Structure 1
């Protein structure tokens, strides 16, 4: 029996059937398109068995699979294993002419794609990749001399300057849907097949209504208010087309909301230019800091038992919901690095495990920001006061009362460190390392 000739589209961080650049290009080709997704053992083996992000990806794939089956007589082939081995299997089952996919910029993804490219080249199969999850990538927004920007504001200004000539095209695939492979029973699996159980945590729907965008600047700093879009996980896994979001932001003419989207691209290009920053300080001298790294104190921070109510509320929100308000992320991060003198990498790893919207570039970038070791970082002597932050951002203590139920009882712990003493200890430690 002869193998069917196909082009493959490989879903990764683009879990949607419309406004998907690589998928559109695949569908415009002359051969039927075989959609595939690979649950990558290199990644999944490091995750807890009830990881909510795995459940979210699985459910999104099943929705897409059902749509393709019911409306187009097609499906998605879903695999679990190592990508290089899965592609060997696909090549044995189908006569593959080209593999299409969208760019991914994280260090592991770059190495993975290099391996797949080499494997396909040996089989005379073309590997075609496209820009999809950002407006500008890699070196598209750089200084006049070609060097990357390492400070946000000039990057943002150049980004906007370049954007004036940018065609914000949405990549509609509807006119090419007859080009999906006519095969509705492609390989599928269940969570249990990969050793996972269904998580009770749900990824909330995103909200980019004009009302949310218009009020964003006024509400985004107050954790007790529902003033944020909850876009993070959907941008991370590509369940929404980025171009559609930019169109909404531009229609609302809200610079603050637009600037937050640009921050995401800033950190992505930083990680691409400086991949070592995943575990090494951007400013090398900051790796000389003598962290205390007290494991018992780290445990209290993780559990939200520091005795500082706003810090504890944030950590409990994270542990219970997989989300933490951005203003509170800065505070909890600063508290860990500055008050407790615990290495930012410990905090980054904990957030990576817990956050539904975890994105390596933003997580690493923001943790290095609070530690003072990154690009465009807060000066090391800027140390958030976790008590005065309550007066600024939760003066009625609504957020604190929601997440720290025992706040007004004798069960709530005393502060684990004195703010003034911790601040002085931090300044001295940093000063000795950086002089």
Structure 2
């Protein structure tokens, strides 16, 4: 049983099949053949380390951990121990599809049976097509007319009643040997916030249901509230399946999808599916603009502004709060993700790939499909994307969704004493208000690195193949 992004015992189709065949050798491989751009970021490695430890405990410390070229490791393993069957749950990243196809062919040539399963999606990407048999490019028709009408998601299966595991001590290097934990001690706060692993995923879901789901539609946009499920990293590493979440939600409301918040939440699971769907049908999604009209767009090369954005030092409070939340917690509220993305791509005119790369390294829930599709959405370059001229105003967005500045004050404490009226736009505060709040712009807190109005117009003009100079606020 080759574990990958399915680090759980419950509702694990490949594991269930394997348990019915006989004795299992559970194996996890840190694959050195992974292309450099898709190697795990530091935050994801931290999560994976703890998730593997949790899985190992669930398997009575009999998980075999190895590193190296996955194909070579598996072929050597099969030859050495006369393995008759290899099973896994499918992955959908382009490089993994290519690798898995090669491994499957090599095993079959050796006379080894190979069985693969869907353990991470509600619908297989090739099962949902338009009437002309081409893939959807717009979310709502994909989800409403495609997914929901193709077939109902598979019911989740229980944990296998019996697991007969053959533990080969000489083949187990141990989780620690994979060197996933960071050498710099930046994760002490994250350690206290998250519980990677199958039990942590179940606990997080039980905290969300049944009460928070009812307020999900409205509460999900308020960054100071715990209005979302917080399951994205658990889903990415497969500590819980989308099928488990889907049916748990339905069970919590007795199947009443009309209830406010329920349909909205299920459609967000649908957006996750759409991201994988796009990645499968359009494998250049992680690095190439989905919309060809952006191929010659004139992005700016501005390392200084990029660094200000990464470090939460832009002088725009809601943007800085979001980027600091990312660094301190390994995640970021979804509404704020849209704001920081729009600010980078449109107000700073820095290409979305730079933002996607930073998120990939810093997010605990870094997921190639979701990261790529969502960045292309906010940049206006993707499938069913927000139009490029939709440029979020971080001040008005902050006033709407963080009206009292609770979220900003949590991550930008130097602004704590500013009145609510100016917490989103301290540059507009009178001198005496700033003095009273002990805020010196440019010293205690950065002055804005761009003028929001001028940078918005510059983005629109650049989109029309014009460009105007940008003047920062003094």
- TM-score in same-fold range (> 0.5): yes
Q: Offset at 1:33?
A: 1.4
Q: Which of 293, 297, 305 is the matching residue for 1:285?
A: 293
Contact 2:155 2:243 (8 Å CA) reproduced: yes
Q: Which of 13, 19, 39 is the matching residue for 2:5?
A: 13
Structure 1 residues 255 and 42: alpha-carbon distance in aligned structure 2, compared to 1, 3 A threshold:
same
Q: Determine whether 1:261 maps to 2:294.
A: no
Distance 2:390 2:40 in 1: 39
Q: Which residue is 2:73 aligned to?
A: 86
Q: Which residue is 2:29 aligned to?
A: 38
Structure 1 residues 50 and 427: alpha-carbon distance in aligned structure 2, compared to 1, 3 A threshold:
closer
Structure 1 residues 89 and 131: alpha-carbon distance in aligned structure 2, compared to 1, 3 A threshold:
same
Q: Which of 271, 291, 299 is the matching residue for 2:307?
A: 299
RMSD: 2.2
Q: Which residue is 1:308 aligned to?
A: 316
SS in 2 for 1:99: strand
Contact 1:75 1:186 (8 Å CA) reproduced: no
Structure 1 residues 282 and 49: alpha-carbon distance in aligned structure 2, compared to 1, 3 A threshold:
closer
Q: Which residue is 1:3 aligned to?
A: none
SS in 2 for 1:174: coil
Q: Offset at 1:111?
A: 1.7
Distance 2:463 2:176 in 1: 46
Instruction: Map 1:147-186; keep pairs closer than 5 Å.
Output: 147-159=134-146, 161-162=148-149, 165-166=151-152, 168-175=154-161, 177-181=162-166
Contact 1:304 1:313 (8 Å CA) reproduced: yes
Q: Offset at 1:391?
A: 1.1
- Which is further off, 185-194 or 144-153? 185-194
Q: Offset at 1:64?
A: 2.5
The CA deviation string for residues 307-345 of structure 1, in whole angstroms up to 9 with x for no partner, is: 110001000100111100000000000000000000000
SS in 2 for 1:358: coil
Q: Offset at 1:100?
A: 0.4
Structure 1 residues 193 and 269: alpha-carbon distance in aligned structure 2, compared to 1, 3 A threshold:
closer
SS in 2 for 1:158: helix
Contact 1:141 1:158 (8 Å CA) reproduced: no
Structure 1: state its 5+ residue gaps.
1-8
Contact 1:50 1:197 (8 Å CA) reproduced: no
Contact 2:314 2:320 (8 Å CA) reproduced: yes
Q: Offset at 1:124?
A: 1.9
Contact 2:66 2:172 (8 Å CA) reproduced: yes
Q: Offset at 1:43?
A: 4.3
- Which is further off, 255-264 or 31-40? 31-40
SS in 2 for 1:28: helix
SS in 1 for 2:229: coil
Contact 1:41 1:80 (8 Å CA) reproduced: yes
Distance 2:333 2:233 in 1: 14
The aligned length equals 418
Structure 1 residues 195 and 233: alpha-carbon distance in aligned structure 2, compared to 1, 3 A threshold:
closer
Q: Offset at 1:57?
A: 2.1
Q: Offset at 1:81?
A: 1.4
| TM-score (norm. length: structure 1) | 0.90
Q: Which of 42, 49, 60 is the matching residue for 1:51?
A: 42
SS in 2 for 1:100: strand
Q: Offset at 1:209?
A: 1.6
Q: Which residue is 1:99 aligned to?
A: 86
| TM-score (norm. length: structure 2) | 0.83
Contact 2:41 2:361 (8 Å CA) reproduced: no
Q: Offset at 1:293?
A: 2.1
Q: Which residue is 2:450 aligned to?
A: 417
Structure 1 residues 42 and 219: alpha-carbon distance in aligned structure 2, compared to 1, 3 A threshold:
same
The CA deviation string for residues 366-395 of structure 1, in whole angstroms up to 9 with x for no partner, is: 111111110001111111111111111111
